[in-house]
Structure formats: C-alpha cells, structure tokens
Structure 1
Amino acid sequence: MSDNQQASASGARVLFVSPNRIGDSVIASGIVREINRQWPNARITVAAGGPPAPFFRSAPGVERIIVVNKGKWASHWFRLWAEVVKQPWDVVIDTRGSALGWLVRAGTRRIYNRGWETGVPKVEVVSRLMQAPHSLEPELYIDDRAQAEAAAVIDPQLAGGAGPGPVIALAPIAHQKGKSWPADRWGALVEMLKAEPRFDGWRFMLVGGPGDHPPAAPALAAAGERGIDFVGKGDILASAAAIRRAALFVGNDSGLMHVAAAAGTPTLGLFGPTEWWLYGPRGPRTRTVASNQTRGEFAPIEDLTVEAVFAATLDLHDAFIGAEAGA
C-alpha cells in the first residue's frame, strides 16, 4: 500500500500553509477540494493570515485554523513552527514556499516553487503544485453565518431607503501601490451610471475593509439614498456573501475582485501597471479594463478614464444582465 493509500485509509493529517493575502488565498482556494480528492477523509489544518482565515472555517475537511499574523524578524514563522512541529503530518502543502515544509515531519511534501511562475495564471501554478489533473478553479465556502452577517447590514439599508432594485457592488480599494483608481473617479462613475437607463433603480453597494472609508466616500456620496455602505462591515466571508448578492461587481485589482469572481458575480477588474492577462479575475463571467489594453505594455492607472470604465461596465451589464433578460 502506498503512502497516499495508507493516509487516505486512516484520514490523512494535512497541513496546508495558505497564502497570506486575500486575493492569493482565493486563487489557491481550489487546493482544499483537491486535498479531499487526493486524500479522502483528510483532517486538514490550515495556517492562514488573519484577513483570509475566515475563508476556511466551513471548508470541507478543515478541522483547525491557525491564524498567522506577520511579526518582526519573521517571528511568525517560529510561532507557526512551534504550533505544528510536534505533530507528524501525512501531507504538508506550503503555498508560500517557505522552509517550514522541510522542518516538520511529513510523508508527502508539496512546496511552492517560484520558478514555476513562467507567465501562466497563478491558478495554473497552484494546480502544478498539487499535481492535479485539471485546473483548480477558485471556490468559496460561504456559510450561513456569513450570509446572515451580510443580510444584517444590507437588508436594513434596503428597507431604510435604498430600495429593492438590483445591486452593483463597487470596490474602490487596493492596498498595493499603483492599483487604486482615484477615489473621485469612482464618484464620477456612479453619477454616470445613475444617469444611464440600464441602471434605473439600481443600488450601489460599496465594499471594503475597516480602514477603507476614505476612498469609498466619493462613490457613497454620489450614490446618495441609492447607496449601501458595506465598508468595514464584517469579515472577508461576510463581504463575499454580500458580493454574491450583487448582480454585478466593479473593482480595482484587489482581493475583493478575486472574491467576486469566485462567488460567481459578473466581475470587472480595473488594472493599471500590472499584468491583467495573468492576474485578472478568473472565470467565464469576468472582464478587465486596463489603462493600457496592449498585452505586455503598461500605463499608470490614472490613465484609465471614467468613460472607459463606464463603457466596460455597460459591456459587463449587457453580457450578463441584458443577455439573461433577453433569454
């Protein structure tokens, strides 16, 4: 009997070191399903950064989550090592390519190698890490708790004046330099959408983390009574539940963009000087608009005009809302 067969028969103990960022965690989320396929009845321990940790609380086979927040002098790795070193693992999967995977006892090791990043989407690299026979598409596990937390914010705002119309979710926040479209343009975009007949009666829901109110403020102000404020309201899984309730999503190249695509919401990602052809939202219900639409060339995100984003949003609407209405 092989190591995999023995581990499967007894319920393999799997240590999964997930990416630290929200977007990367979404991209790698298909690993959970693949663990369960390769090692049925696996007992999975996930080591995750604080913000993406809620993704895994209802994932199949996950029995423990270790929150790993970065510390000075890489002290978080020592803390994690102390948590897991005493346990012999059947399988260690390390998406961060750290030394940890080699410093614990393990029967099978799958350690990420940055040398695999050769111009293919990261989902494909993650699939190679897992030696999977197919692409490991992102998958979210949105539980009842997240749905209830989303409803507790959205439903009172709808009842309080925003009304029952379709919702477009907007995420004007990206925490990496050069990825944030200027806040005032989000306000201008909302004004243009409010005046567009396709969006008559639509509501504008702003989503983001606890510190993201300043860049969301112009869009919320423009939305007025048709606005829904979901900025800083709940953890990332609650945000995912809120975004899944939306009919469309438009956002900067960010973790929430990847969340929206994985949730199945038609998604438009805004890109500046980053590789939209590699890091764009994943899935058949997605689009990108970039400050330079020529693959291999770049321009500052400030070069992306309101008119271009407005036109791309109309295309997104027509592809997934207009087409469904006419079906």
Structure 2
Amino acid sequence: MAQLFIGPTRLGDAILVSGVLAWMRDDAPDSPITIACGPQAALAFSGWQGVEAMHVVHKRPHHRHWLDLWQKTRNRRWRRIVDLRRSALPWLLRADARYRIPPGLPGEHRVIQAARTLGLPPQMPRIDLSAAQRAHARRDLPDGAPALAIGPGASQIFKTWPVERFAAVADRLLSTGGPLAGGRLVLLGSDAERRDAAALLNLVPADRLVDGFGLDIPASAALLERSALFIGNDSAMMHLAVAAGARTVGLFGPTRDDHYGPWGPQGLVVRTPESVDALQARLAAVGGGGSLMASLTVDAVSDAVLRRWPDLSAGAHPA
C-alpha cells in the first residue's frame, strides 16, 4: 500500500519538513509515496525517488481545495497518512495509520515540530539529486578553488540584508588573505533578485562567477552541495543550503531564528542587535516597505563566520 504525505504550501516550509518525507520513504521502501502540497512547496520535491504521484493543491474559496484532494485520493486504502497541514482529510480517507502535526511549542524549531508528528527525533532537511544534476554542478564548480554561495533575497523585503553588505563580506572572504581567497562566487535566487544584485555580480571576474539566479531547486542544491559556505537571509534558499549539506549562515532580524534558523551542526545564526519583538513592533508601526536588517554590520557577520569556522578551508564542503 502507498503512503500519503500532505505537505506545506510554502517552499521554505517544505524544505524544513523534507526530512520527515525522507524518513517515510526509508522506513517503508516498498510503499510508494503520494505528495499533496502547494505549488511552491512542490518545487522542493521535484525529482524525488519513491514518489509515485504529486497532487498540487491550489487554494480555492470555502476550502474547496480539500474536496478536490479528497476526490483524487479517496479510491484507495493508504498504509499511512502524514498530514502536516492539520486538515480533516486523513479522517475522511481509508488508512491503516493517520498522523497529524501537533501544535508548535514555544520556541520550538519547525524541524522538531514536524518530527514530533511521527514521534521521531529531529530529521535533517533533505534534497534528492540525480547523477546528471551533480555532474552539471561539477562543470560549473570544478574541483579546486573553493566556492562561496550567497542568497541575497527573501520572500519579504523587511528581512533582507542590504546587498552591498553581502558584497563586502564576500570580498573579505574571497580576496587575497581571506579564507576562501581566489575562490568562486555562486549567486542564487530568483530571476527577479538578479536585478538588485549588481554589487555582487560585479565583485569577481566572470571566470570566477556562477550566476545561478533563476535556476530550479535541484540545480541550486547541486551547486550548494559543492560550496564551502552559504550566507543568506531567512529564506527558502537558506533551508536548501542546509538540505544540501553546506555550511549555512542565516541572517536574522524581524523573524524568529528559534523557529526557522538553519538546522543542524553546520548552521550558524547571526542576528541583529535588536530582538525579534522590537523589530516586529517597528514593522507593525511603519509597515513592510523597507529592510529592518540595517543594524547588522559587515563586521558582525564576517567575524561570526571566522569564529565558527576558523579553519574554513579550500574545497567544497562534503555533502
């Protein structure tokens, strides 16, 4: 019998809970998985092994999207249904076992919350990559000089660090005397984010630049897998770096790093001097028209990186 995984709507949330999906596959390799999730979240599961079907859930008025999904899933009995959306659907379908994500606890990371659905220890975010995708990334990032990956974008402008400061940190790390001296610069994000990234696009010569703006999720992950370090805002790209096994620096201000910080032993949070609550109060007062990350300095980020990884060495971080 197959398994049904009802996943999130947003891309970043899907990557955060991907470890649970990987556990389901590994725990029952003879039970193919059907995924139901939002259109953005579906990008995170593109090409996954062991997935027999993907139902992309488009929200409809009066919750009719759940009726649509019920129509697609009602004609079989499921071995296991794991619902990370807290819907009623699992109890409207035939199943041997049903699991629904519990409410989050104060200060609980979303990786921990998702794992508690099945009574598991925290599951590292995962990404499936093919040999062809890895080979393509190897052509862009051949063995030798190390690579620094930067993700300057985010879903909301108020949690983006100024791109000029990303460029200043990258310059310190990649220039002569820096720990990644002579290395390549990998830029990742959406096509729209390239428009505001001139300070980064012009930082290194063309033969040391990998312009990854606009790449799909697997292609971005394959580059991250071969990068020595990733630095980015609180974003889906930050979570993808974790899933790819890269050393990951997440920059935080008005969002909660205890809930969404880069998970695992290779993650590092660097946040503004102001608390989340103080910045959220300012956001409520002035609206979301600009960045709330201005108090985070270049020195704070570069010093935190070098304190955490004083031996940040040449070459790609092993996946």
Q: TM-score, normalised by structure 2?
A: 0.83
Equivalent of 2:252, from 247, 261, 271?
Answer: 271
Identity %: 34
The equivalent of 1:50 in structure 2 is: 39
The equivalent of 2:225 in structure 1 is: 244
**Greater share of residues in helix:** 1
How many residue pairs end up in the alignment?
A: 303
Structure-1 separation of matches of 2:123 and 2:56: 24
The root-mean-square deviation of aligned C-alpha atoms, in Å, is 2.9
Q: Deviations over 1:244-292 (max 9, x none)?
A: 1111111111111111112211111111112223321111112111012
Which stretches in structure 1 are left out of the alignment for 5+ residues?
A: 1-11
**More off after superposition, 46-55 vs 250-259:** 46-55
Q: Deviations over 1:47-101 (max 9, x none)?
A: 1333443543554532222233445665543432322223332321111112333
Structure-1 separation of matches of 2:68 and 2:212: 34
The equivalent of 1:213 in structure 2 is: 194
Q: Deviations over 1:149-199 (max 9, x none)?
A: 5356x26xx8xxxx9521100000111352211223223333443445123
1:230 aligns with 2:212: yes
Query: Do 1:50 and 1:68's aligned partners in 2 also have CA atoms closer than 8 Å?
Result: yes
Query: Do 2:38 and 2:58's aligned partners in 1 also have CA atoms closer than 8 Å?
Result: yes
The equivalent of 1:6 in structure 2 is: none
Which stretches in structure 2 are left out of the alignment for 5+ residues?
A: 281-291
The equivalent of 1:7 in structure 2 is: none
The equivalent of 1:8 in structure 2 is: none
1:309 aligns with 2:301: yes
The equivalent of 1:92 in structure 2 is: 81
Mapping for residues 153-232 of structure 1, pairs under 5 Å:
154=140, 165-195=145-175, 197-198=177-178, 199-225=180-206, 226-232=208-214
CA 1:254–1:196: 2 relative to 1, 3 Å: farther
The equivalent of 2:288 in structure 1 is: none
Which one has more relative contact order, counting CA pairs under 8 Å at least 6 apart?
Answer: 2
Query: Do 2:107 and 2:258's aligned partners in 1 also have CA atoms closer than 8 Å?
Result: no
Equivalent of 2:108, from 97, 116, 120?
Answer: 120
Structure-2 separation of matches of 1:80 and 1:179: 34
Structure-1 separation of matches of 2:36 and 2:98: 15
Letter in 2 for 1:29: S
The equivalent of 1:15 in structure 2 is: 4
Structure-2 separation of matches of 1:185 and 1:260: 20
Q: Secondary structure at the match of 2:125?
A: coil
Structure-1 separation of matches of 2:40 and 2:226: 21
1:147 aligns with 2:119: no
Structure-2 separation of matches of 1:149 and 1:68: 31
Structure-1 separation of matches of 2:265 and 2:157: 28
Equivalent of 2:239, from 247, 254, 258?
Answer: 258
Letter in 1 for 2:303: A
Q: Secondary structure at the match of 2:75?
A: coil
Mapping for residues 278-317 of structure 1, pairs under 5 Å:
278-292=259-273, 300-317=292-309
The equivalent of 2:289 in structure 1 is: none
1:117 shift after superposition? 3.1
Q: TM-score, normalised by structure 1?
A: 0.81
CA 1:57–1:219: 2 relative to 1, 3 Å: closer
CA 1:144–1:71: 2 relative to 1, 3 Å: farther
